[in-house]
Amino acid sequence: MASFNNNNFVLVSTTSPILEGNLLQQPITTDRLIFRQFLDSDLEAIHSSITTPGEDDKSQALSLLNYLKKDSETLHLGIFLNGATEGEFIGRVALAHSEKYLSSGWPEIECVINTRYRGCGYATESATALLQFFWDLPRKQTRILVAPSSLDNPEDTKATEQIYAMSRKDNLASIRVLQKLGFESFEGLDNDKINWRMRNPFM
């Protein structure tokens, strides 16, 4: 997740999750999937997911693994198949909650499914699980800087909490997933992406 300039953002009163760094108390599970934080033992699985067969150099995978483990401003979780025991690594999800990473000012969700597992509904299942985790977190009142274009009324000093996502304009699969989840697109961010928002469904 890239960092963004927020010089043109506006200050609003809203709610935000109480999430300490990148800590997850216990794995998240669904019928088919397990979501947990990354371990040193995941190196081989990450290496296999980002390189071509036969490639022995693990430096790229090690660099990625170290980033996923140590990034204290984003919650990175590996996605694993859920069977009698933890199964194969199939992708990862991320929840950014530091303002230096937020392109809209709102917390941001990202999901990456390994190529061989796409088209099986895992992206929808993963995003649904992470969203449920996110909205179930305890809340606090706060004031944050957000993109005016993410608001129904940019002049309003109060706003219902949102979560943000982005997709490439040509990524029809991601677009369908975000629409299915209930995200709505909005204009106004100069990032050559489709920008999406979801308001807190409990507010």
pLDDT digits (tens), the chain, 203 positions: 554 556 689 999 999 998 765 578 899 999 999 999 999 999 999 998 887 666 777 899 999 999 999 988 899 999 999 986 678 999 999 999 877 667 899 999 999 999 999 999 999 999 999 999 999 999 999 999 999 999 999 899 999 999 999 999 999 999 999 999 999 999 999 899 999 999 999 88
Separation between Cα atoms, residue 160 and residue 155, nearest integer Å = 14
Tally the C-alpha atoms within 13 A of residue 87's C-alpha that lie toward its C-beta.
Answer: 12
Q: What is the model's pLDDT at position 18? A: 87
Name 83's Cβ contacts closer than 8 Å, sequence gap at least 6.
none
Q: What is the model's pLDDT at position 72? A: 83
Q: What is the model's pLDDT at position 135? A: 96
Per domain, the residue ranges of the chain are: 10-19+26-199
Q: What is the model's pLDDT at position 6? A: 60
Question: Tokens 């944050």 belong to which residue?
Answer: 144
Q: What is the model's pLDDT at position 25? A: 80
R_g (Cα) of the chain, nearest Å: 17
Q: What is the model's pLDDT at position 54? A: 63
User: Do 80 and 88 form a contact (C-beta atoms < 8 A)?
Assistant: yes
Q: What is the model's pLDDT at position 1? A: 56
Q: What is the model's pLDDT at position 98? A: 73
166 alpha-carbon distance from chain centroid:
10
pTM of the model as a whole:
0.89
In CATH terms, the fold of domain 10-19+26-199 is Aminopeptidase (3.40.630)
- Which residue from 148, 69, 73, 67 is spatially nearest to 105, judged by alpha carbons? 148
Q: What is the model's pLDDT at position 5? A: 53
| CA geometry: angle 19, 22, 23, nearest 5 deg | 75
